[in-house]
Amino acid sequence: MLELQRIKQIVEAALLCADEPLTVDLLERLFAEGECDKPTLKSIIESIEEDCAGRGIELKRVASGYRFQVRQELAPWMSRMWEDRPPRYSRAVLETLALIAYKQPVTRGDIEQVRGVAVNSNMVRALLERDWIRVVGYREVPGRPAMYGTTKTFLDYFNLKSLDELPTLPEIRALIEPIEAELAGAGPEYVEGPRVEFPTDTVVVAEEFLETDVEPRAERER
Amino acid sequence: MLELQRIKQIVEAALLCADEPLTVDLLERLFAEGECDKPTLKSIIESIEEDCAGRGIELKRVASGYRFQVRQELAPWMSRMWEDRPPRYSRAVLETLALIAYKQPVTRGDIEQVRGVAVNSNMVRALLERDWIRVVGYREVPGRPAMYGTTKTFLDYFNLKSLDELPTLPEIRALIEPIEAELAGAGPEYVEGPRVEFPTDTVVVAEEFLETDVEPRAERER
Amino acid sequence: MSDQPLTEVIAPAPGERLRALREQRGDDPEELYAIVSGEAFTQMPTDLYIPPDALEVFLETFEGPLDLLLYLIRRQNLDILDIKVAEITRQYMQYIELMTALQWELAAEYLVMAALLAEIKSRMLLPRPSFDLEDEDDPRAQLIRRLQEYERFKSAAEQLDTVPRLERDLFRAYAERPELTRQQVEPEVDLKEVLIALSRVLHRAEMYTRHAVKLEPLSVRERMSDVLARVNDAPEEFVPFVSLFNVREGRLGVIVTFLALMELIRERLIDLVQNGAFAPIYLRAAAN
**Residues from chain B contacting residue C81 (CB–CB below 8 Å):** 176, 179
Of C13, C150, C165, the CB nearest to B158: C165
Residue B128 dihedral angles phi and psi, to the nearest 5°: -65, -45
| Cα B54 to Cα B25: distance, rounded to the nearest angstrom | 28
The model carries a pTM of: 0.62
pLDDT of residue A29: 92
pLDDT of residue B71: 95
Q: What is the mean pLDDT of residues C36-50?
A: 52
CA-nearest residue of chain C to A16?
Answer: C173
Lowest mean pLDDT among A93-107, B168-182, C32-46: C32-46
> Could you write out the DSSP letters of every residue in C72-94?
HHHHH---TTS--HHHHHHHHHH
Percent share of chain A, pLDDT over 70: 78
**pLDDT higher than 60, residue C36:** no
* Plot region of A209 (φ>0 → left; ψ -120 to 50 → alpha; else → beta): alpha
SS percent in chain C: helix, strand, coil, step 5: 55, 10, 35
pLDDT, one tens digit per residue, over C69-102 is 787 777 666 676 666 666 766 766 666 666 555 5
Query: In whole numbers, what is the pLDDT of chain C averaged over residues?
Result: 71
| Nearest Cα to Cα of residue A119 among A86, A146, A80, A154 | A146
Percent share of chain B, pLDDT over 90: 63
3-state secondary structure of A14: helix
pLDDT, one tens digit per residue, over A98-129 is 999 998 899 999 898 888 788 888 889 989 99
Q: What is the mean pLDDT of residues C234-243?
A: 84
Question: What's the DSSP call for residue C268?
Answer: T
pLDDT, one tens digit per residue, over A155-193 is 998 888 888 888 887 787 777 666 666 555 543 333 333
Of A68, A88, A164, the CB nearest to C217: A164
Interface test with C, best of B68, B198, B209, B214 (most C CBs within 10 A): B209
pLDDT, one tens digit per residue, over C245-279 is 887 877 888 888 888 888 888 888 888 888 887 88
A32: closest CA of chain C, how far (Å): 19
- Helices and strands, counts by H and E, chain A: 12, 4
- Kindly state whether C169 is in contact with chain B, defined as any CB-CB distance less than 8 angstroms: yes
Query: In whole numbers, what is the pLDDT of chain B averaged over residues?
Result: 81
Q: Is C173 exposed, middle or buried (0-12, 13-18, 19+ CB in 10 A)?
A: buried
pLDDT of residue A218: 37
Top pLDDT among B145 and B86 is at B145
pLDDT, one tens digit per residue, over A128-146 is 999 999 999 888 888 889 9
